[in-house]
C-alpha cells in the first residue's frame, strides 16, 4: 500500500520496517492508535528534592566612563562632558515561600552590566539585578568570594534628603571609593571629598547593605558541619578540587528564614568615571584614581583626552556558594518508613502527601499547617529514617538536616510492625533506633520537647502493644491514633499545640526507657 505524504509517496511496509521514523510509524502502527506524546512531569511530591546546590554568581561589570567635550557654534573647545558608566547589577538571593527546593535554579548566574556613560553628562544606566528565588530555610556556605551582604529595604520616605539613592558629590562616581587608593593619607583626603551614596532598588527604596554573620570552619562545631552528599564526578581531579574547596568552605555565612529576606551574593562593579568627573578633581587626585594613567594627567602639553581621562568600569565580584536547605517547621514527624507519617499529616492538616504501602514513598519533606483559633503550627513529614541513616543508609542523612530546626519532635511509631508474624521491629525498638540516629547526626537533637504517636491502633493486637509501649517508655505523652480512620487526631492536635506553646514540656531519655 502506498501513502501520499506531501509531495512524497511512501510505501507502508517500508515505513513499518524503518527504525528511523518511529513517530511516523506510530501513526500507522496497528498496536497504538494514539500519537506519540511527551510524558507529563512527575508531580512535585514524587520528585526527588534538590536541597543542596552549587551556585556560581557574578555581579555585572560596571559601564565604562565616557570621554566627550562640549561643542557648539560658539564654543569650539568646550569643557569635558562625558558621563560616568552605570553600576553593574547585583546577584540577589530572595527568600520565597512559593519555592520548594533548588530544582529551578541555574548553576551560573551573571547580573547585567551597567550602561556606558555618554556625552552631555549622561550617566550610564544601572545594570539590572538578577534576583534568584530560594526556599525559606536556605543556608548559604561560601566557597569562594566575598561574604554576602543582607539587604534591608527602606521606603524612600524614611530617608534624609541627602541620602537619596544615587546622589553623587561633584559628579564623582562611586567607583572612586577611597578604599581603592594605596596611600592612606590620600585615601583619607579623597574620602573627605567623595561621598559614597546608597544604591537604589527598583522600587525606589534604598538598599542598606549589611555584612552577614561570618562563621568559619574552625568556629563551627563538628557535629553541626553539613556533609556534602556524594556526587558523580568522572574525573578524579575534579573530585580532588571539590574536596579542597569543601575544606576551605566558610559555613553558614548567611541564612534566609523569612519571606522577602534578601542577600547580595555578588556585587555589581562600579561604573568608570566619565571625563567630566576628572575635570572636577584636583590633578593630584587624578593621578591616583583607578583606571587613570598617573604620568599623563599632570603634563601640561597633553591632549584633551589625556588631560581629562575617563576610566573603565570595574568588574563585578564573583562568588561560589553552596546552598543548603533546612526546612523550618514547628513540628517534625520522625519515624521509620511505612509508619504512617504521610497518612497522619494528611489526617491532621489539609496537606495531600503521597501515601503508599511500600517504604520510602516520601522523597521530600512535606509540610502541612495546623490551624487553631490563636495559633498556626507548621508540621513537616520527613522521609523515613532507618537504622544507619546517619551513615547514608536508606535515603541517607540528607533529610536529618530538616529536623535540625524544628521545635518539637513527634515520633511516629508503627504498633503493628511486628504483629501477625511481620518482620518489623517493635515500637520501643523503633524509638530507640530513631533517637540514636538523631543523636549520631547532631548531639542533643533528640532532647527537644517530644511526644509519641502510636499509629495503626486499629490493627489486631495493637492495643496490647500500645500498653507495653506505655510501660516501657515513661515520661512523654503517647497518643494512640489510627491515621487512616482519623481516630485520636483531636487529642494529638491538642498535645502538639501544648508542646509548641510551651505549656507542656516533655523530653525523651533513652536511659529511662525499658529495652530488651
Ligand X SMILES: Nc1nc2c(ncn2[C@@H]2O[C@H](COP(=O)(O)OP(=O)(O)OP(=O)(O)O)[C@@H](O)[C@H]2O)c(=O)[nH]1
Tell me the closest approach of the beta carbon of residue 430 to ligand X, in angstroms.
Answer: 11
Nearer to ligand X, 172 or 389 (CB): 389
Check if the beta carbon of residue 414 is closer than 8 Å to that of residue 386: no
Q: Judged by CB, which is closer to ligand X: 173, or 430?
A: 430
- 3-state class of 283 per DSSP? helix
Q: Is 495 exposed, middle or buried (0-12, 13-18, 19+ CB in 10 A)?
A: buried
User: Least distance to ligand X from the beta carbon of 344, Å?
Assistant: 7
- Closest distance between ligand X and the C-beta of residue 42, in Å? 15
- List residues binding ligand X (CB under 6 A): 335, 337-343, 355-357, 359-362, 383-384, 455-456, 458-459, 482-484
Kindly tell me the sign of the dihedral angle through the C-alpha atoms of 368, 260, 150, 135: positive
Shortest Å distance, C-beta 492 to ligand X = 12
Q: How far is the CB of 139 from ligand X (least distance, A)?
A: 24
CA–CA separation, 481 vs 493, rounded Å?
A: 11
SS in 3 state form for 191-254?
A: HHHCCCCCEECCCCCEEEEEECCCCCCCCCCHHHCCCCCCCCCCCHHHHHHHHHHHHHCEEEEE
Nearer to ligand X, 149 or 455 (CB): 455
Measured CA to CA, the distance from residue 407 to residue 442 in angstroms comes to 15
Residue 53: CB minimum distance to ligand X, A = 24
CA distances (Å), 151 to each of 90, 206, 255, 303, in order? 11, 9, 12, 44
Q: Which is nearer to ligand X, 252 or 343 (CB)?
A: 343
* Nearest residue (CB) to ligand X, 206 versus 349: 349
Decide whether 130 or 456 has the Cβ nearer to ligand X.
456
Shortest Cβ 495–ligand X spacing (Å): 17
d(CA 468, CA 284): 87
Distance CA 262, CA 154 (A): 13
**Cα(334)–Cα(431) distance, integer angstroms:** 9
CB of 413 to ligand X, least distance (A): 10
Q: Contact, 457 vs 488, CB < 8 A?
A: yes
Rounded Cα distance between 113 and 64, Å, is 10
Q: CA torsion, points 7, 13, 17, 22, in degrees to nearest 10?
A: 50
Cβ-based nearer residue to ligand X, 360 or 372: 360
Q: How far is the CB of 347 from ligand X (least distance, A)?
A: 8
Q: State the minimum distance, in angstroms, from the CB of residue 383 to ligand X.
A: 5
Q: How far is CA 398 from CA 298, 402, 510, in A?
A: 63, 8, 24
Residues 6+ apart with CB under 8 A from 169: 193, 194, 195
Beta carbon nearer to ligand X, 96 or 362: 362
Is the Cβ of residue 339 or residue 370 nearer to ligand X in the bound state? Answer: 339
Strand order in the sheet with 262-266: 130-134, 91-95, 262-266, 149-154, 206-211, 199-200
- In the complex, what is the shortest distance from the CB of residue 335 to ligand X, in angstroms, rounded to a whole number? 5
Least spacing, CB of residue 427 vs ligand X, in Å = 13
For residue 442, the 8-state DSSP code is S
d(C-alpha 246, C-alpha 229), whole Å: 12
Query: Residue 187 or 419: which CB sits closer to ligand X?
Result: 419
Cell triple for residue 237? 581531579
Would you say 121 or 362 has its CB closer to ligand X?
A: 362
Please give the angle made by the CA atoms of 277, 281 and 286, to the nearest 5 degrees: 95
Q: Which residues of 350-383 are buried (b: 16+ CB within 10 A; e: fewer)?
A: ebebebeeeeebbbbbbbbebeeeeeebbbbbbb
CB of 106 to ligand X, least distance (A): 30
Distance CA 500, CA 115 (A): 53
Nearer to ligand X, 116 or 384 (CB): 384
Q: Smaller CB distance to ligand X: residue 266 or 385? A: 385
Amino acid at each position: 500500500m502506498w501513502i501520499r505524504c506531501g509531495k512524497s509517496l511512501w510505501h507502508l511496509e517500508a515505513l513499518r520496517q524503518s527504525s528511523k521514523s518511529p513517530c511516523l510509524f506510530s501513526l500507522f502502527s496497528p498496536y497504538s492508535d494514539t500519537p506519540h506524546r511527551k510524558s507529563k512531569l512527575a508531580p512535585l511530591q514524587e520528585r526527588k528534592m534538590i536541597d543542596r546546590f552549587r551556585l556560581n554568581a557574578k555581579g555585572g561589570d560596571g559601564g565604562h566612563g565616557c570621554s566627550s567635550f562640549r561643542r557648539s557654534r560658539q564654543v569650539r573647545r568646550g569643557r569635558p562632558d562625558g558621563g560616568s558608566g552605570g553600576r553593574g547589577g547585583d546577584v540577589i538571593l530572595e527568600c520565597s515561600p512559593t519555592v520548594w527546593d533548588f530544582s529551578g535554579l541555574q548553576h551560573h548566574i551573571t547580573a547585567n552590566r551597567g550602561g556606558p556613560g555618554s556625552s552631555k553628562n549622561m550617566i550610564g544606566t544601572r545594570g539590572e539585578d538578577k534576583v534568584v528565588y530560594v526556599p525559606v530555610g536556605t543556608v548559604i556556605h561560601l566557597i569562594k568570594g566575598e561574604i554576602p551582604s543582607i539587604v534591608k529595604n527602606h521606603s524612600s520616605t524614611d530617608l534624609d534628603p541627602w541620602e537619596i539613592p544615587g546622589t553623587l558629590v561633584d559628579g564623582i562616581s562611586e567607583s572612586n571609593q577611597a578604599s581603592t587608593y594605596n596611600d592612606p593619607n590620600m585615601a583619607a583626603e579623597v574620602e573627605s571629598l567623595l561621598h559614597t551614596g546608597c544604591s537604589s532598588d527598583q522600587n525606589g527604596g534604598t538598599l542598606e547593605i549589611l555584612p552577614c554573620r561570618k562563621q568559619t570552619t574552625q568556629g563551627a562545631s563538628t557535629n553541626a558541619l553539613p556533609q556534602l552528599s556524594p556526587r558523580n564526578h568522572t574525573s578524579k581531579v575534579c573530585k580532588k578540587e571539590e574536596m579542597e574547596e569543601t575544606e576551605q568552605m566558610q559555613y553558614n555565612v548567611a541564612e534566609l528564614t523569612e519571606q522577602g529576606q534578601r542577600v547580595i551574593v555578588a556585587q555589581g562593579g562600579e561604573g568608570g568615571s566619565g571625563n567630566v568627573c576628572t575635570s572636577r578633581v584636583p590633578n593630584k587626585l587624578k593621578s591616583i584614581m583607578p583606571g587613570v594613567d598617573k604620568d599623563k594627567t599632570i603634563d601640561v602639553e597633553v591632549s584633551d583626552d589625556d588631560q581629562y581621562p575617563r576610566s573603565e568600569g570595574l568588574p563585578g565580584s564573583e562568588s561560589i556558594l553552596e546552598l543548603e536547605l533546612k526546612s523550618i517547621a514547628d513540628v517534625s514527624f520522625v519515624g521509620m518508613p511505612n509508619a504512617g507519617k504521610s497518612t497522619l499529616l494528611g489526617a491532621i492538616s489539609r496537606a495531600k502527601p503521597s501515601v503508599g504501602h511500600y517504604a520510602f514513598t516520601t522523597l521530600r519533606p512535606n509540610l502541612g499547617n495546623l490551624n487553631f483559633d490563636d495559633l498556626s503550627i507548621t508540621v513537616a513529614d520527613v522521609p523515613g529514617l532507618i537504622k544507619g541513616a546517619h551513615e547514608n543508609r536508606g535515603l541517607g542523612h540528607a533529610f536529618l538536616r530538616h529536623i535540625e530546626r524544628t521545635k518539637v519532635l513527634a515520633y511516629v511509631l508503627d504498633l503493628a510492625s511486628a504483629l501477625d508474624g511481620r518482620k518489623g521491629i517493635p515500637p520501643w525498638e523503633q524509638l530507640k533506633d530513631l533517637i540514636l540516629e538523631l543523636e549520631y547526626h547532631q548531639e542533643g537533637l533528640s532532647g527537644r520537647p517530644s511526644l509519641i504517636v502510636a499509629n495503626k491502633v486499629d490493627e489486631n493486637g495493637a492495643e496490647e502493644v500500645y500498653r507495653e509501649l506505655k510501660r516501657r517508655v515513661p515520661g512523654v505523652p503517647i497518643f494512640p491514633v489510627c491515621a487512616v480512620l482519623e481516630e485520636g487526631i483531636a487529642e494529638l492536635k491538642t498535645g502538639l499545640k501544648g508542646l509548641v506553646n510551651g505549656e507542656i514540656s516533655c523530653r525523651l531519655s533513652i536511659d529511662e526507657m525499658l529495652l530488651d
